[in-house]
Amino acid sequence: MELSGKVALVTGGAQGIGKAVGLMLAKNGSEVVISDVNFEMARSTAEEIEKIGRRALAIEANVARFEDGEKMVRETVEALGRIDILINNAGITRDGLMLRMSEEDWDLVLDVNLKGAFNCTKAAIRHMVRQRSGKIVNIASVVGLMGNAGQANYAASKAGLIGFTKTVAREFASRGITVNAVAPGYIDTPMTQGLPENVKEELKKLIPLDRLGTPEDVAKAVFFLVTSASDYVTGQVLQVDGGLYM
């Protein structure tokens, strides 16, 4: 299988896009570590992966804390021997119009969505440098490219993540490490399922493919970026948005 012998760490992997990515990688041969702030959900997802026949590990961690980033990578290597793939997926929203947005909500979203990727990447990439190989995929968002009213903090964090992706890709290309981003559009996840039906219908009108995306749509793009099929691809942003922004 394409990912046989590989070890992947997926942050925010207990549900939604992260869970779909973890299952996709496992089905294609990878051992998978699921990191999440919700340990019970992370353990449940890890158990699903084990039923596929892959080794899996659940870790409770908050990516916004640097020590947690180091802990999850250390426990991954101790349990599974290496780390080949890092998926920086953990993310939150605290939406509100700019004039009403609190400093706390700004800081919290930037700490999880952007600083979290820095924390986990810095911890993981040391091992990848020694291996002279590795695949890092950052889950950004189309709003990091186009903006979105009421999401100044979220859009800024995802735009920052895109810049981070391109810079780390340049710094580590000579070590055989590729770093790319996937920018989902409106995806049917727990984060969007709370939207009223009429809002979802209005969103669909903006999407040329006339539907919200699924976590599996995103997982397929991530899968491409962590396989040998993408060995000559780095520093790129792959939009998975049904044509929303083009």
Burial (CB count within 10 angstroms: exposed 0-12, middle 13-18, buried 19+), residue 180: buried
DSSP state of 230: G
- For residue 25, what are the CA distances in angstroms to 89, 99, 187? 14, 42, 19
Rounded distance, CA 66 to CA 173, Å?
A: 24
Residue 186 among the catalytic residues:
no
3-state helix, strand, coil in the chain (%, to 5): 50, 15, 30
Residue 16 neighbours by CB distance under 10 Å: 20
Q: First CA to last CA across the chain, in angstroms? A: 34
DSSP state of 213: B
DSSP state of 123: H
Phi, psi dihedrals of residue 212, rounded to the nearest 5°: -70, 155
Phi, psi dihedrals of residue 174, rounded to the nearest 5°: -70, -15
Q: Which of 154, 186, 232, 245 is catalytic?
A: 154
Would you put residue 56 in left (φ > 0), alpha (ψ -120 to 50) or beta? Answer: beta
The catalytic residue positions are: 154
